[in-house]
Chain A
Amino acid sequence: MEKAIALDGATKRFGELTAVDGLSLEIGRGATVALLGANGAGKTTTVAMLMGLLEPDAGRVTVAGRAPRQAVVEGRIAAMLQDSGLMPGVTAAELVGLGRRMYPAPLPVEEALELAGLRDQARRRVDRMSGGQVQRLKFALVAVAGADTMLLDEPTRALDVQGRREFWSAMRNCAAAGRTIVFATHYLDEVEENAERVVVLARGRVVADGPPARIREAGGRAVVRFRLPAGQALPTLPGEVAREHGWATVRSATPDEVVRRLVASGVDWSDLRVSPPSLDDSFLALTGSPTTTGTAPQTTPGTAAPVPTPTTAPEEAQVR
């Protein structure tokens, strides 16, 4: 069976900047996959190539075994792009109704609105909707396509906690219906809760690919924390130890060993807690530290690699 999405050595350059660099990736039908990466990692460029909005300079991109634009026209794939806007002055139902007319095998308008959790807002004007509702309406425009594959590029950006929760609940309905969902994000918690597979991108390449739990372990270290009265000496522990305000924090790849030695040492510790590696740590470890790559989240645009103009280096032009 053909893959929902296949990229084979896809490369896209903007002037001197290589936004996507020989990216190879296959996503099977029905999967829910997160594309995780810092700003400038190439997520949006990848999405644009999958929608046929950008042609790769090298390599091959197919969607459901077809050229991307063909897949868009046939309603095989639909996307929620970043920075898209909606037509003001019409109602949610009218707008989704317009979307419905564009596709060969669309969902009914009511169903798309229902999936997006907008059933009660069907008659509300687009320009009178909250940010969260607008975002879900964009999702309804994707849902109405009835496409096998949905691409969501940072769908919850600029949403508050409640908005994000509502959004993901809508999306999970679609995933449950067997659709392939690929979403780009830099919110790590969203990845944990919503994806079965994580593809970590950095500098336009895949740097890690696997289930969230494995990604978490790939570069991360567990955290062992306990109370320790000031002045108490510690035995040698396998990890990086920090002491502060009566607490000791040990970051270690072998938390079991830390605890064993701690128990054996006879030190007067209390309130022991062990947490698994954080995805944040793994992510930073996988994508490289900001000082060496210039693309990690902490980097300010001014410190990014020197590039001639924003148009030739679009990914670096981001100010957030």
Chain B
Amino acid sequence: MTFHLFRLECLRMLRDPRYLALGVVAPIGFYLLFATIFGGSPTQPGELKGTVEIMVAMAAYGAIWGALSATGPRLAHERSSGWLEQLRSMPVTVRQLLVAKLAAGLAVALPALVLVCLTAVAAKDVRLAAWQWAALVPAMWLGTLPFALLGVVVGLLVGPEAAFPLSYGVYMAASALGGLWVPPARLSAPLQDVAHTLPTYRLADLGWRVAAGHAPTWADVVVLAAWSAGFAALAVLAQGRRPGRARTGAASAATAG
């Protein structure tokens, strides 16, 4: 059951032009743009090539939006549209629904991740060892988990009008501060300190480390896990605070006949 809910969630994302534009085409386009402008600058020993550094940043940028947009704005909309109400009258639990949503968020994060990497290989001649690809894609994919969880929190707490702009605003701010737009090394020291606490930076850092031939740092893993745990706890709280059975039932009785 959860699987079929998940399958439909994915299907409708792939049919959504807004997702395709912002979550797939935009990161590929930005990659080509930035890699062409900044990718050729000479690198110090030990630094990543621009085309690789930007590939990781844009892969993260696209994957984050996939995870966030499949959960937050959609869940908020479904709370008001009556789809959740419809599901409540069917043999499906809220937990199954949320698991399907989270899984769909992760699933639709993957296309941007893979396609930006493929674009980098095809158009910018990026070459990594096989083990690096095999580590980079799954690591960054798992790293989108906190964003899918954040989306669930937004979806449970925010109304349908505000959910999209809020999600998008948080996404853009966290992407900029996390060094996805400007290499973090060029940020000022205080901003770097901020960046190091953000899941956006840590997600990209997973990729940068692997691309440089190293293992991701524990800090990356710990920061991403901490954000995930925090958002998961918030989601559980929000779910408890949200109209459970009684109150939604009463709300539906409000439109009683």
Within 8 A of B (CB), among A100-151: 101-103, 138, 141, 145
CB distance from B26 to the nearest CB of A (A): 20
The docked-state distance in angstroms from the alpha carbon of A103 to that of B92 is 10
The docked-state distance in angstroms from the alpha carbon of A275 to that of B13 is 58
Interfacial chain B residues near A88, Cβ < 8 Å: 12, 81
The segment from B3-11, B52-60, B61-69, B136-144 found at the interface with A is B3-11
The docked-state distance in angstroms from the alpha carbon of A69 to that of B43 is 65
Nearest A residue to B16, CB-CB: A89
The segment from B127-135, B171-179, B205-213, B245-253 found at the interface with A is B245-253
Interfacial chain A residues near B245, Cβ < 8 Å: 53-55
Quick check: is A40 within 8 A (CB to CB) of the other chain?
yes
Evaluate whether A53 and B89 lie within 8 angstroms (CB atoms) in the complex, with A44-B256, A85-B81, A310-B254 already known: yes
Evaluate whether A82 and B89 lie within 8 angstroms (CB atoms) in the complex, with A87-B12, A314-B251 already known: no
For chain B, what secondary structure do more than half of its interface residues adopt (helix, strand, loop), or is it mixed?
A: helix
Interface pair B254/A54, CB less than 8 Å apart: no
Total chain A interface residues with beta-carbon distance under 8 A: 55
CB distance from B74 to the nearest CB of A (A): 9
Interface pair A314/B11, CB less than 8 Å apart: no
Interfacial chain B residues near A82, Cβ < 8 Å: 252, 255-257
Quick check: is A72 within 8 A (CB to CB) of the other chain?
yes
Within 8 A of B (CB), among A284-320: 310-311, 314-315, 317-318
Interface pair B256/A90, CB less than 8 Å apart: no
Evaluate whether A44 and B252 lie within 8 angstroms (CB atoms) in the complex, with A53-B245, A89-B11 already known: yes
Interfacial chain A residues near B40, Cβ < 8 Å: none
Interfacial chain B residues near A317, Cβ < 8 Å: 254
The docked-state distance in angstroms from the alpha carbon of A107 to that of B253 is 30
Interface pair A85/B83, CB less than 8 Å apart: yes
CB distance from A106 to the nearest CB of B (A): 11
Interface pair B256/A45, CB less than 8 Å apart: yes
Interface pair A84/B82, CB less than 8 Å apart: yes
Quick check: is B188 within 8 A (CB to CB) of the other chain?
no
Interface pair B90/A48, CB less than 8 Å apart: no
The docked-state distance in angstroms from the alpha carbon of A279 to that of B103 is 53
The docked-state distance in angstroms from the alpha carbon of A7 to that of B47 is 74
Most chain A beta-carbon neighbours within 10 Å: one of B78, B81, B92, B256: B256
Interfacial chain A residues near B88, Cβ < 8 Å: 53, 81
Partner of A83, one of B4, B11, B85: B85
Partner of B82, one of A53, A85, A102, A145: A85
Interfacial chain B residues near A103, Cβ < 8 Å: 91
CB distance from A240 to the nearest CB of B (A): 30
Interface pair B89/A54, CB less than 8 Å apart: no
- Write out, one digit per residue, whether chain B residues 216-257 have a CB within 8 A of any chain A CB (1) or not (0): 000000000000000000000000000001111111111111
Interfacial chain A residues near B90, Cβ < 8 Å: 72, 78, 99, 102, 141, 145
Interface pair B85/A81, CB less than 8 Å apart: yes
Nearest B residue to A144, CB-CB: B90
Quick check: is B95 within 8 A (CB to CB) of the other chain?
no
Nearest B residue to A312, CB-CB: B250
Interfacial chain A residues near B185, Cβ < 8 Å: none
Interface pair B91/A54, CB less than 8 Å apart: no
Interface pair B12/A54, CB less than 8 Å apart: no
CB distance from B41 to the nearest CB of A (A): 43
Partner of B15, one of A54, A86, A89: A89
Quick check: is A153 within 8 A (CB to CB) of the other chain?
yes
The docked-state distance in angstroms from the alpha carbon of A43 to that of B92 is 24
The docked-state distance in angstroms from the alpha carbon of A228 to that of B219 is 97
Nearest A residue to B247, CB-CB: A311
Interface pair A43/B12, CB less than 8 Å apart: no
Interface pair B257/A153, CB less than 8 Å apart: yes
The docked-state distance in angstroms from the alpha carbon of A88 to that of B8 is 10
CB distance from A42 to the nearest CB of B (A): 7
Quick check: is A97 within 8 A (CB to CB) of the other chain?
yes
Quick check: is B86 within 8 A (CB to CB) of the other chain?
yes
The docked-state distance in angstroms from the alpha carbon of A186 to that of B245 is 26
Interface pair B86/A138, CB less than 8 Å apart: yes
Partner of B248, one of A53, A101, A186, A318: A53
**Given A14-B253, A39-B256, A83-B85; 19 other pairs, CB 8 A cutoff:** A39-B257, A44-B252, A44-B253, A44-B257, A51-B89, A54-B245, A81-B252, A82-B257, A84-B82, A86-B83, A86-B86, A87-B78, A88-B81, A89-B11, A94-B11, A98-B4, A101-B1, A102-B92, A311-B247
Q: List 24 A-B contacts (CB under 8 A).
A: A14-B250, A37-B257, A40-B256, A43-B256, A53-B249, A54-B246, A54-B250, A72-B89, A82-B252, A82-B255, A82-B256, A83-B252, A84-B83, A84-B89, A85-B78, A85-B81, A86-B83, A88-B12, A94-B8, A101-B1, A102-B92, A311-B250, A315-B254, A317-B254
Interface residues of B (CB under 8 A from A): 1, 4-5, 8, 11-13, 15-16, 78, 81-83, 85-86, 88-92, 245-257
